Structure 1
Amino acid sequence: MMPLVSSTPLLQEARKQGYGIVAFNVHTLEMLQAVVEAAEESRSPLILQTTVGTVKHLGIAYIAGAAKTAAAQASVPIALHLDHCQSFELIMQCMRAGYTSVMIDQSMHPFEHNVAVTRKVVEAARALDVNVEAELGKVGGVEDDIHVDEDMAALADPDECRRFVELTGVATLAPAIGTAHGIYKGEPNIDFERIGQIARLVDVPLVLHGGSGIPEAQVRRCVSLGMAKMNVATELKNAFTASLQQFFAEHPGDLDPRSYMSAAKQVVKRLAMEKMELCGCTNKA
């Protein structure tokens, strides 16, 4: 019987050993079950992740309850992470409910404001042994209600990253390095040199946002440079939905949710296992 665990030691080990742990955004019980089964079969540590929109859609207690059940039945370590949250109050509610990792995103504000709010979250999380992630720079694309146009995306400054970690005590850092939320229209323009510079200046695990659709060779390079966590959201959601569409096209008369949800679950599970293999976290549980 394992409880949900903080992602901090998992990610520290991943960075030290040079692999990445995949954080999957899940929106339904079937998606959660699929990535947990994938982690079990591949012996991978796992980060379940929910956006603020999914928290509003499903409810904190339902999500935390399902994640705790999964962790209790699993033999691999599982963390539960709140992604891209701007509200201190919601973060506190999630931590009290059992979330073991939270992201406070104040990257749209000036550096000093980002530091002050992040430090406040870090102080609250420390007593509960909860991992805190923050963002520097602005990752482009769409994540729930957060829209950052391409021309407004800004890459993280390596020296600011070092100062930010020192001033806040944050356990994990998501620097903007050229990736984007959503599916890429062309080849992503990742600044690998910048990742290396940041990794040399800060010793905390780095987080790769916008992991859906990055070419495999680029993912491996990001991980080798210090990206210890990769977020996958859009690709998983799209695969789940496409499976439902295909099922109804092929079986228009089958209206049993257990049939079409089971098919979608298997698609998500296969994709999750591919991502775990790509980031090198298989057999690392």
Structure 2
Amino acid sequence: MPLVTTKEMFKKAYDGGYAIGAFNVNNMEIVQGITEAAKEVNAPLILQVSKGARAYANHTYLMKLVEAAILETGLPICLHLDHGDSYELCKSCIDGGFTSVMIDASSKPFAENIEITKQVVAYAHDHGVVVEAELGTLAGVEDEVKVSAEDSSYTHPDEVEEFVTKTGCDSLAIAIGTSHGAYKFKPGTKPQLRFDILEEVSKRLPGFPIVLHGSSSVPQEYVQMINENGGNMPGAIGVPEDQLRHAASLSVCKINIDSDLRLAMTGTIRKFFAEHPDKFDPREYLKPARANIKELVKHKLIDVLGCDGKA
């Protein structure tokens, strides 16, 4: 089975009241953990690559890892560029075999966001590739994406129809209170997504797939592993999973997960070295890290996204 786009995935997800997991990948163990989990529960997948991951691992290596995952699992897998920051980057990924790209011009003025997104959409559609765009700006830090709380903004529902109509984008990432990274909310606060904005956007874009970025839940068992083994992550709080599940039951068809994978890998490796300070074989500490990523992803696919059995 070749790489697929998200068109059919999102249609089924919208109609079925579930979301597709979009998991960021950086190396072989992360790809293996994600795809082994999806195979066990028969879930469709979006594997996404940031600009930073592409620079770190090399475009060709990542392509071959994803191709290997398709051969091993037989699953429908979409390869997506996460937070593409320029037409040139999106074009390079399209030319290199990606089946989906995100152009993130959300920090630009509304009219400029439209023009940049239109340019990417025109090239992508000519090559059979789908495009995700963004309205509203999420706070937080993830690779090259760095937005302060002061500079973040919720999506304005009254802009979405014009934006989608003029750009021709295939899905839209909106800002309703999620945030990039592990420090999404202040300790002691009760995180609450703005479902009123999501519902209003859905009314204005009936049947149109919505995307949530910054949706890691920051599993506390891995935060604890890090803190108990030389780390320092006090106050790391993520998005409540019940709110993500509710979003998936509405018009949200794609939910991005990255920080949770990093926490699972880092927490496991820190714990391994604390317990085995004499070990130095990468296979010995990457194997349990891969296993914990797999268990984390299975939980997300079944209990949060609801896309198990949908491949």
Q: Does TM, normalized by the shorter one, top 0.5?
A: yes
SS in structure 1 opposite 2:309? coil
Partner of 2:185: 185
Counterpart code for 1:251: H
> How many pairs are equivalent?
284
Give the Cα–Cα distance (whole angstroms) in 1 for the partners of residues 2 and 124 of structure 2.
17
Identity value in percent:
41
Give the Cα–Cα distance (whole angstroms) in 2 for the partners of residues 189 and 109 of structure 1.
27
* CA deviation after TM superposition for structure 1 residue 279, in Å: 0.8
* CA deviation after TM superposition for structure 1 residue 225, in Å: 2.1
Of the candidates 203, 208, 216, which is equivalent to residue 200 of structure 1?
203
Give the Cα–Cα distance (whole angstroms) in 2 for the partners of residues 96 and 191 of structure 1.
37
- 1:97-246 residue pairs with structure 2 within 5 A? 97-183=96-182, 184-186=184-186, 187-202=190-205, 203-213=207-217, 214-246=239-271
Contact 1:161 1:175 in 2 (8 A): no
Deviation string for 1:72-95 (max 9, x for gaps)? 332221111110111211111111
* CA deviation after TM superposition for structure 1 residue 264, in Å: 0.4
Partner of 1:29: 28
Structure 1 gap segments, 5+ residues each? none
* CA deviation after TM superposition for structure 1 residue 71, in Å: 1.4
SS in structure 2 opposite 1:228? strand
* CA deviation after TM superposition for structure 1 residue 12, in Å: 2.0
Moved over 2 A (4+): 184-189
Counterpart code for 1:160: E
SS in structure 2 opposite 1:102? strand
Partner of 1:89: 88
- Please state if 1:258 is matched with 2:283: yes
Counterpart code for 1:188: P
Contact 2:43 2:309 in 1 (8 A): yes
Structure 2 gap segments, 5+ residues each? 218-238
TM-score (norm 2): 0.89
Deviation string for 1:164-190 (max 9, x for gaps)? 111111001001111111122343331
SS in structure 2 opposite 1:156? coil
SS in structure 1 opposite 2:128? coil
Counterpart code for 2:202: A
